């Protein structure tokens, strides 16, 4: 009788038990408590909270601004990844490190910095304010960058930038340069080589980066507090509406909206997993 094969990693039961306990303590129990609390609401009351005009306006701004931030980062983040991967220049390492600043910086600090720069009296905002040369092009009131929907998009773009860059950059580094050289030898120009050789290989990672950036932007709160005026139906996003209901002791409404956002988050996570699986199949 042959002896059982030893496990490659010893202590499987212990480490698995710790993993389940750790995830339960940080994720499953709090989320389960939130879902359990929502079951105390009747369906009519739950639907009343999640489909109120203020909630719908907050969803609209949250997801529209998150999608715009993701699209902006798809273009800017891909370009940044290209520059960091394909060129060598003084200060490249510093630029590469700056990409990760939104990861390490408290979002409240980032929001305060953005508000100070893009406010009507800030270094950038004053060029678009009322009475300025650029501002007059947008009408008698100028163009408000901070404390407006544009400010919301700016803040969400700031916090979600690293996700696109760090998703596209490794794929660019792993591309075989000989394929590009072969395309050039066959007479393809730089633009055609990029569109027919490089871009198809980048599309899965770009889609994954967009989804991650969208998910990160949809859950942002800290930086929005400083650059958004939090006006209902105009500049109020869903997390701000939840905090406002908690401040007004409307716990049922806050729980209902939070559970609705949680369901959307699960849909986004499922989309990310599908994209990652597609990326692995595409690259294999």
With contact defined as beta carbons under 8 Å apart, do 202 and 194 qualify?
A: no
With contact defined as beta carbons under 8 Å apart, do 45 and 38 qualify?
A: no
The residue among 11 and 95 whose pLDDT is bigger is: 95
pLDDT in tens, 208-233: 899 889 989 988 888 898 888 888 89
CA angle 123, 128, 133 (to 5 degrees): 110
In this structure, is the dihedral angle defined by the CA atoms of residues 176, 178, 179 and 183, taken in order, positive or negative?
Answer: positive
Asked if residue 87 belongs to a domain, the reply is: yes
| Spacing of C-alpha 152 from chain mean position | 13
Give me the count of residues in the chain.
284
pLDDT in tens, 108-165: 898 899 999 998 888 888 888 877 767 767 777 778 888 889 999 999 999 999 999 9
Asked if residue 25 belongs to a domain, the reply is: no
CA distance 146 to 124: 10
CA distance 260 to 14: 35
What's the mean pLDDT in 194-220? 85
Other CB atoms within a 10 A radius of the CB of residue 157 amount to 23
CATH code for the domain in which residue 182 is found: 1.10.3720.10
pLDDT bin (cut points 50, 70, 90) of residue 202 is confident
* pLDDT value at residue 99: 93
> Token digits for 128?
């678009």
What's the mean pLDDT in 252-262? 90
pLDDT in tens, 46-75: 899 999 999 999 999 999 999 999 999 999
Q: Which structural domain, as residue segments, surrounds residue 214?
A: 48-283
What is the four-CA torsion angle of 50, 217, 120, 131, rounded to 10 degrees?
Answer: -90
CA distance to 38, 240, 249, 266, per residue, from 47 (Å): 11, 19, 19, 19
CA distance 46 to 230: 24
* pLDDT value at residue 60: 93
Percent of the chain residues topping a pLDDT of 70 = 90
Asked if residue 21 belongs to a domain, the reply is: no
What's the mean pLDDT in 80-106? 90
* pLDDT value at residue 70: 93
Per-residue pLDDT at 269 exceeds 60: yes
Angle at which helix 149-174 crosses helix 107-118, to 10 degrees, equals 120
- In the three-class reduction of DSSP (H, G, I as helix; E, B as strand; rest coil), residue 255 is classed as helix
Asked if residue 226 belongs to a domain, the reply is: yes
Average pLDDT taken over every residue of the chain: 85
Domain count, the chain: 1
Q: pTM of the full predicted structure?
A: 0.84
* pLDDT value at residue 41: 84
Among candidate residues 249, 238, 80, 279, the one with its CA nearest the CA of residue 169: 80
* pLDDT value at residue 283: 58
Asked if residue 85 belongs to a domain, the reply is: yes
């Amino acid at each position: 009788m042959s002896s059982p094969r030893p496990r490659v990693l010893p202590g499987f039961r212990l480490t698995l038990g710790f993993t389940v306990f750790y995830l339960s303590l940080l994720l499953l129990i709090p989320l389960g408590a939130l879902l359990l609390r929502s079951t105390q609401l009747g369906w009519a009351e739950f639907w009343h909270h999640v489909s109120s005009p203020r909630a719908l306006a907050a969803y609209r701004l949250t997801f529209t601004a998150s999608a715009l931030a993701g699209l902006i980062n798809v273009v800017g983040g891909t370009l940044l990844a290209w520059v960091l991967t394909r060129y060598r220049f003084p200060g490249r390492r510093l630029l590469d490190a700056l990409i990760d600043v939104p990861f390490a910086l408290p979002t409240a600090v980032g929001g305060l910095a953005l508000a100070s720069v893009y406010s009507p009296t800030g270094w950038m905002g004053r060029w678009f304010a009322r009475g300025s040369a650029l501002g007059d092009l947008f009408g008698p009131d100028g163009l408000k960058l901070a404390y407006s929907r544009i400010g919301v998009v700016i803040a969400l773009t700031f916090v979600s930038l690293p996700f696109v860059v760090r998703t596209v950059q490794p794929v660019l580094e792993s591309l075989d340069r000989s394929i590009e050289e072969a395309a050039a030898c066959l007479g393809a120009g730089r633009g055609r080589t990029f569109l027919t050789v490089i871009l198809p290989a980048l599309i899965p990672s770009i889609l994954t980066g967009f989804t991650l950036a969208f998910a990160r932007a949809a859950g942002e709160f800290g930086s929005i507090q400083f650059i958004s005026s939090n006006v209902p139906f105009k500049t109020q996003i869903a997390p701000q509406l939840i905090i406002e209901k908690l401040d007004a002791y409307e716990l049922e409404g806050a729980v209902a909206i939070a559970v609705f956002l949680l369901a959307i988050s699960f849909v986004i996570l499922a989309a990310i997993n599908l994209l990652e699986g597609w990326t692995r199949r595409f690259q294999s």
